Amino acid sequence: MTEPGTPRNDTITVGSTGTQSSRRGRANLRDYVSTCREFSWDAARSQLAGLPGGGLNIAYEAVDRHAAGPGAHSIALRWLRADGGVVESSYADLAEASSRFANVLRAQGIKRGERIGVLLGRCPELYIAVLGILKAGCVVAPMFSAFGPEPVRQRLDIAGAAALITSEPLYRRKVAPIRDALPALRTVLLTDGGSGGVDLPAAMAAADPDYELTPTTADDPALLHFTSGTTGRPKGALHVHGAVLAHIVTARFALDLQDGDIFWCTADPGWVTGMSYGVIAPLCLGVTLISDESEFDARRWYRILTAHRVSVWYTAPTALRMLMRSGDTLPEGTDLGCLRFIASVGEPLNPEVVVWGERVLGHPVHDNWWQTETGAIMIANFAATQVRPGSMGRPLPGIEAAVVRRGANGRALVRDGTIDFAGVGEIGELALRAGWPSMFRAYWDQPERYQRCFVDGWYLSGDLARRDGDGYYWFVGRADDVIKSAGHLVGPFEVESALMRHPAVAEAGVIGTPDPVAGEVVKAFVLLRSGVRPSEELRSELTAFGRRALGAVAPKQVEFVSSLPHTRSGKVMRRLLKARELGLPEGDVSTLEGAP
């Protein structure tokens, strides 16, 4: 890692071609400085329709407002089946189906404010259920469908979920074994019928297609997103209906969503990204949302981008790196002519991926930063500005960010009651001025833990970063991932990104290993590109390559691996690498999922 303020080779910009320049006039955020100066959340609320009788409800903003206007028959959801079939739903279709679902909940005795678990893969029933739950004034508790029974039990138990919607196979494998341990769970709704719960298709068919929305307000609970980082009891981050304003604003500014767009967010709706930007934001903006039932497959993904004329694509760095591994030559028939904007989320984006995107896909990949707790994108590289590979970008209009110094106890430094801000280039903890609309309002039943996240009116993210002289932010690492070696703070992400610049390296995971002199030394686990064989010569070459790029904090050890452990959301599981290195018990890795 370079010393703070030292010029770096990753501050180069991309996207400065004539094609990029010609797109700038059409971008939603055309003048960053003046927009930030003039923006206010109060003025932005004019973008919301609001309930006819007063109040605010996410589902109304997402579908009912469109169903009552000229967009009623526009395609809201295009679901791509694994077998190649396509199922389309208009805004009017989703409005009616979600009203039927809300009536089913009412018939089952589900009351306003109760939490309802959603354990489904990407399928139309998931979107209908989420919208229906919100219409009923209940709280959506999304869960990743690949979870095992124990993570499901933990989340349903912590939420005190009164109901669960899932499929019969998922119920049989993941819920039936732990049902007796969930006394609060009164009702299970099965999307395909079967034993163990309510036959949802039959109940929907019998339900009234009209539903008078429960009059929720901006401060009423709407979403309970679980995040557990890498260890410990899951935390339930509570979000309110008013968060929808941030979803809309950030989707316009950070993702550049515009009228007529075909939008594909590859994140699973069991995570906050898949819910905020895979369900809520695109529907609120009236665009067509692509939802793919299948998991990652490079050729299938290129076919989807081509056949469905995707214009805005929001995906994960891991997926992009996997596309890189498949080669720079796109499959025959690939046509990305409709693709206008690519963004990435879920983990820091390596600079090499940004450059590869422009070279191979025709567009740089725009990184952005946010967390489950923030509820929406906070920092981003924007469509009308050049991308700085490796940077998270700059704060969105309405968001005030800073880097704060940390004391020896790992907490933010406060002097005379005021938080101590770091200087330009100095590494510290990334913080946000509290009060944006999608800021989480609580950790469910953990008030003290929630209060510890705030100091002097600032939310402390737990991520280490630095800010350059132009106001761009650069991710260093999670506070508990940073390696302390011979007095240096070494961010694993920066080392991984440096190694990925070598043509033989597909991906890397970096940890610190104990050393009696330096405290820790940097070790890299390296996954090689297809066709490259590991050798001692290559190991020496990578070590020397790292020293040239990083100096004294380059990896001292390089180990070649056939695979790297990832969380369900695609992050490299450094803690698992460290546990294996130290010979520690790995534990139940199914709980080490880490949300984007």
Q: CA-to-CA distance for 215 and 56, rounded, in angstroms?
A: 7
Give residue 546's domain range: 483-591
Q: CA-to-CA distance for 210 and 97, rounded, in angstroms?
A: 9
As for how many domains the chain has, the answer is: 2
The better pLDDT of the pair 425, 321 is held by 425
Report CA Rg, the chain. Answer: 24
Q: What is the DSSP letter of 389?
A: T
Q: Give, rounded to a whole angstrom, the gap between the first and last alpha carbons of the chain.
A: 25
Q: Do the beta carbons of residue 512 and residue 522 sit within 8 Å? A: yes
Q: Do the beta carbons of residue 140 and residue 134 sit within 8 Å? A: yes
Percentage of the chain lying above the pLDDT 90 cut: 70
580 falls within a domain: yes
pLDDT band (50, 70, 90) for residue 46: very high
Is residue 56 classed as helix, strand or coil in its secondary structure?
Answer: coil
pLDDT at 581: 83
Q: What is the DSSP letter of 14?
A: B
CATH number at 558 reads: 3.30.300.30
Q: Which residues of 197-228 are buried (b: 16+ CB within 10 A; e: fewer)?
A: bbbbeebbeebeeebebbebebebbbbbbbbb
Tokens standing for residue 66: 């469109």
Q: Which residues of 60-83 are buried (b: 16+ CB within 10 A; e: fewer)?
A: bbbbbbbbeeebeebebbbbbeee
**Helical (H) or strand (E) element with 135:** helix 124-135
Q: CA-to-CA distance for 397 and 395, rounded, in angstroms?
A: 7
CATH number at 226 reads: 3.40.50.980
463 falls within a domain: no
What are the tens digits of pLDDT across the range 48-94? 999 998 999 999 999 999 999 999 999 999 999 999 999 999 999 99
Is residue 579 classed as helix, strand or coil in its secondary structure?
Answer: helix
458 falls within a domain: no
pLDDT band (50, 70, 90) for residue 24: very low
Please say which residue of 189, 222, 241 terminates a domain.
Answer: 241
Q: CA-to-CA distance for 52 and 193, rounded, in angstroms?
A: 35
Q: Do the beta carbons of residue 405 and residue 398 sit within 8 Å? A: no
What CA–CA distances, in Å, run from 35 to 38, 426, 520?
5, 27, 45
273 falls within a domain: no
Q: Do the beta carbons of residue 133 and residue 159 sit within 8 Å? A: no
390 falls within a domain: no
pLDDT at 540: 93
Q: Name, in order, each residue with C-beta under 8 angstroms of 581's C-beta and a sequence gap of 6 or more.
A: 511, 513, 523
Identify the residue whose tokens are 């695979």: 563
382 falls within a domain: no
pLDDT band (50, 70, 90) for residue 523: very high
Please say which residue of 210, 241, 272 terminates a domain.
Answer: 241
Instruction: Tell me the average pLDDT across 121-139.
Output: 98
What CA–CA distances, in Å, run from 66 to 61, 62, 70, 71, 507?
8, 7, 7, 5, 44
How much is the mean pLDDT over the chain?
A: 89
DSSP code string of 281-316: HHHHTT-EEEEESS---HHHHHHHHHHTT--EEEE-
pLDDT band (50, 70, 90) for residue 109: very high
**Helical (H) or strand (E) element with 390:** none
Please say which residue of 190, 220, 241 terminates a domain.
Answer: 241
pLDDT at 110: 97
Per the DSSP assignment, residues forming a β-bridge with 79 are 87, 291
What are the tens digits of pLDDT across the range 359-404? 999 999 999 999 999 999 999 999 999 899 999 999 999 999 999 9
What are the tens digits of pLDDT across the range 499-514? 988 999 999 999 888 8
Q: Do the beta carbons of residue 291 and residue 317 sit within 8 Å? A: no
Q: CA-to-CA distance for 72 and 68, rounded, in angstroms?
A: 6
Percentage of the chain lying above the pLDDT 70 cut: 89
What are the tens digits of pLDDT across the range 206-220? 999 999 998 999 999
Q: What is the DSSP letter of 28?
A: S
Pick the closest to residue 520 from 529, 509, 511, 528 (CA basis): 511
Query: What does the longest C-alpha to C-alpha distance in the chain come to?
Result: 72
135 falls within a domain: yes
Q: Which residues of 294-330 are buried (b: 16+ CB within 10 A; e: fewer)?
A: eeeebebbbbbbbebbbbbbbbbbbbbbbbbeeeeeb
Instruction: Kindly give the pairing relationship between strand 163-166 and strand 75-80.
Output: unpaired
What are the tens digits of pLDDT across the range 252-297? 999 999 999 999 999 999 989 999 999 999 999 999 999 999 988 9
Q: CA-to-CA distance for 66 and 76, rounded, in angstroms?
A: 10
Per the DSSP assignment, residues forming a β-bridge with 433 are 458
Q: Does residue 571 register a pLDDT over 90?
A: no
* Half-sphere exposure of residue 150: CA atoms within 13 angstroms, side-chain side: 9
DSSP code string of 173-234: IIIGGGGGG-TT--EEEETT--TTSEEHHHHHHHS-S--------TTSEEEEEEE-TTSSSP
In terms of average pLDDT, the best of 92-106, 144-158, 492-506 is 92-106
DSSP code string of 532-556: PPP-HHHHHHHHHHHHHHHGGGS-S
10 falls within a domain: no
Pick the closest to residue 352 from 500, 477, 495, 494 (CA basis): 500
